[in-house]
Chain A
Amino acid sequence: MWILPGLMLSIAMLGCSHKPIETSPPPPVVVEVRDTPPADLLQCPTRPSGIPAGLSASIPAPVRDALIDLAGAYRSAVGQLERLINWHRPATPCGPASP
């Protein structure tokens, strides 16, 4: 017998409930800017297998020195590139596995 008046009262009381006032400021947003290079620049360099084992040859000293210089330059260039790639993509590093 009191159900209907109670229901009506509860519906009427809904109008009295405190509603939050709508305001204009948007929710704050922060975005991290990641300046990652394109994916093809982040591919690990493939190392060639080099000179086959068990070979002998006759090579004059100037050519040998040039070959040694080329080999050293290749190593340092590849090492620098791998460091650069690992800087931008630390999750899957290139190069020889850490000891």
Chain B
Amino acid sequence: MRFLKHILQLLGLHRSWLTLLGLGAAAAFFWWEFATMRADRDRYRQWADVVCASAGTSFAAAPKSKLKAGEQCKAEVTALARFRSDQARLTADLLAKVSRERDGKIERDLAAATRSARAAAKAAQDMEKANAALEGDHVDPAWFDALNRHAGLQP
């Protein structure tokens, strides 16, 4: 208890010095905060300049422009992002459409090829039969008929 009293007495004796020390510490703290904020601000501003230059514009408002600083840049970046997503969507839509068309084509072609192969096989079989039915080298109208059909000519 006596020790605590002693300390309080000491603080009372050096009060002005201690106040000055406290003020100095507060000033140093604020100076450090401000310096950090200024460095951050400069870095972000530089970053904004780089982003806006990539988008083909500048962060600062153009002279004689009614827009605030950064407004044109924001609009450009937004438009670029929209352009990219729109382009990707249109491309995907077109690719899907072409793919669907191709699927339909393959299906139709396969059906047509199967049909004509079946008809060709039947005609070739008939031709073979007609050829086997001949006696000697004498060729009758049935053989010519089979030949025409084998060639797929008009009936």
Contacts and interface: CB of A to CB of B under 8 A. Distances in A.
Interface in B70-114: 71-72, 75-76, 78-80, 82-83, 86-87, 90-91, 93-94, 98, 104-105, 108-109, 111-113
A56 B141 contact: yes
Interface of B: 56-57, 67, 71-72, 75-76, 78-80, 82-83, 86-87, 90-91, 93-94, 98, 104-105, 108-109, 111-113, 115-116, 119-120, 123-124, 127, 131, 134, 137-141, 144-145, 147-148, 150-154
> Which of A21, A29, A32 has the most chain B CB atoms closer than 10 A to its own CB?
A21
Contact of B141 (A26, A53, A90): A53
> Which of A26, A60, A68, A87 has the most chain B CB atoms closer than 10 A to its own CB?
A68
Q: Is the interface of A mostly helix, strand, loop or mixed?
A: loop
Interface of A: 21, 23-30, 32, 47-51, 53-61, 64, 67-68, 70-72, 74-76, 78-79, 82-83, 86-87, 90, 93, 95-96, 98-99
B76 A71 contact: no
Contact of B148 (A50, A60, A93): A50
11 contacts: A23-B75, A27-B83, A29-B90, A30-B91, A32-B94, A50-B151, A53-B144, A57-B138, A64-B139, A90-B104, A98-B112
A26 B76 CA distance: 11
A56 B139 contact: yes
Nearest to A15: B66
